[in-house]
A and B are shown apart, each in its own frame.
Chain A
Amino acid sequence: MKYIDEFRDGRLAAGLARAIAREAAPGRDYAFMEFCGGHTHAIARYAVTDLLPPTVRMIHGPGCPVCVLPIGRIDMAIRLALARPDVIVCTYGDCLRVPASGGLSLLKARARGADVRMVYSPADALALAVREPAREVVFFAIGFETTTPPTALVLHAAAAQRLDNFSVLCNHVLTPAAIAAILESPEVRELGTVALDGFVGPAHVSTVIGSRPYERFAAAHRKPVVIAGFEPLDVIQAIRMLIRQVNDGRAEVENEFTRAVTRDGNRKAQALVADTFESRPSFEWRGLGAVADSALRLRPAFARWDAERKFALDDRPVPDHKACACGAILRGVRTPTDCKLFATACTPETPMGACMVSSEGACAAHYTYGRFRAAAQRTD
């Protein structure tokens, strides 16, 4: 398929790998964080790490919206769906299996009689509200800046149609805040457990927000950022560009994904989001804790369609399962195989932690692709 196959070409990958081997400085270690789950997935699926010299280490970041969604927010949706038979909770497929309190998930709540439905698009949830005027349709919205503009569009449509049986339970989060939280976390600052030389920056988030928002931390934290597409060659080229920046002593924002990302991003989408949402003073992230100005809520003009206000939902933070290492994995402090539950109690079929739920989660990616490589290396 055009614009996909060319970016997965093995011969070109080998050439890029040779270039990296040439350009990585002998006797120097490099550690880069790929922020996005999409990059984590590509690195695992195409065994990108096999093409890198042993001195170049990739650390998984927290850029998987399903993985960073705290238990308390899913509990909110489950409580509402179980308490109110007139409510239909709609959400993306990945959210259905995220473990919540009391051994529940949205999917298990459905087995207990709650009306929970998977939708492909927020427009499907809106259409359901039109079709079912006697029911309350609540769209459980999650995601980074990529899924926020579509949520904004359906809110505007609901307002235009005066559709009073539709509302949004908003969990949209912001990428720059999460990168800043990692760079400013005590583990990075003081303990030095995560020595990061740079970031592979988000692909599809950046199509919306552009490359400009990353310029602040590249300058403030002296960390290079290279925005990369989600195909394997994009990731390898971005790693090469990061190595070059480190070698040159530069800390700039560079864009490998020029076919889809500009400095300014999608202004139409940005204006729509600004018009619909406002910043939350603080929001809980799995693995990062409470992060200031890192999430969005509906503006007062959309209060009628805000499920949190409409149903007086309260947010009760819940700690993660004690044995689950998702939090540390999301901060890049530990790897999936460091977790006692990995591939035993916690698998993609029966996930205990969020990193095992989505195919973009670090644990699911390693379970699906990485562990066979690791086993092969052990037997060599």
Chain B
Amino acid sequence: MCLALPARIVELLDGELCRVELGGVRKEISLALVDGAALGDYVIVHVGYALTRLDPAEAERTLALFAEAGLDPAAARDHPDAQRGSST
């Protein structure tokens, strides 16, 4: 019911509709609930309607926080993650 994945807008259509792609599958959905969505944007789709646009900058920031979590401040020197550094 609530499980939905971010899908990329690959074509804007008439009547507040668009075509999204997810893992090679294309589907026509409605953009009536989201203003200003553009080609290439990622949207979260529920029951055939985009609910919101995904913010790519925020997604990067969240992933950077995940990467940092693996670094033990005390033992960072000995940890394999430390050689890679965190993406800040």
Contact = CB atoms under 8 A, between A and B. Distances in A.
Interface of A: 1-4, 6-7, 9, 11-12, 14-16, 18-19, 22, 36-38, 41, 63-66, 92, 94, 120-124, 142-144, 146-147, 149-150, 153, 202-205, 207-208, 230, 233-234, 237, 240, 256, 258-261, 266, 268-269, 272, 358-360
B26 to A, nearest CB: 14
A204 B4 contact: yes
B44 interface: yes
A1 B5 contact: yes
Nearest to A66: B1
B42 A3 contact: yes
B38 interface: no
B2 A360 contact: yes
Given A6-B63, A203-B2, A258-B58, A120 B69 contact: no
Lowest 3 A-B CB distances belong to which pairs? A15-B70, A121-B48, A19-B69
Nearest to B46: A146
Q: Which of A9, A15, A149, A259 has the most CB of B within 10 A?
A: A259
Question: Interface on chain A toward B: helix, strand, loop, or mixed SS?
Answer: helix
Q: Which of A11, A15, A122, A240 has the most CB of B within 10 A?
A: A15
Contacts of B69: 12, 15-16, 18-19, 237, 240
Contacts, number: 142
A256 B62 contact: yes
Contact of A4 (B5, B51, B71): B5
The bracket for how many chain B residues form the interface is 35 or more
A19 B70 contact: yes
B35 A204 contact: no
Contacts of A237: 62, 65-66, 69
A3 B6 contact: yes
A122 B67 CA distance: 40
A66 B1 CA distance: 8
A338 to B, nearest CB: 24
Contacts of A208: 51-52
Contact of A122 (B42, B47, B52, B59): B47
Interface in B21-57: 22-23, 30, 32-35, 42, 44, 46-49, 51-52, 54-56
Contact of A153 (B33, B42, B52, B81): B33
Given A12-B66, A258-B61, A143 B1 contact: yes
Contact of B2 (A65, A121, A272): A65
B1 A150 contact: no
A12 B67 contact: yes
Contacts of B4: 204, 230
A166 to B, nearest CB: 16
Nearest to B86: A15
A235 B22 CA distance: 22
A254 B71 CA distance: 22
Given A19-B69, A360-B1, A147 B46 contact: yes
Contacts of B32: 153
Nearest to B74: A22
A16 B49 contact: no
B59 A259 contact: yes
B1 A147 contact: yes
Given A4-B5, A15-B71, A204 B62 contact: no
26 contacts: A2-B8, A6-B59, A7-B63, A12-B66, A16-B69, A16-B70, A18-B70, A19-B69, A19-B70, A37-B1, A65-B1, A121-B48, A122-B47, A123-B48, A144-B2, A146-B46, A149-B51, A150-B33, A150-B49, A204-B2, A205-B2, A230-B2, A237-B66, A237-B69, A258-B61, A259-B58
Contacts of B47: 92, 120-122, 143, 147, 150
A298 B75 CA distance: 59
A146 B48 contact: no
B60 to A, nearest CB: 9
A121 B32 CA distance: 14
B46 A150 contact: yes
Contacts of A18: 69-70, 72
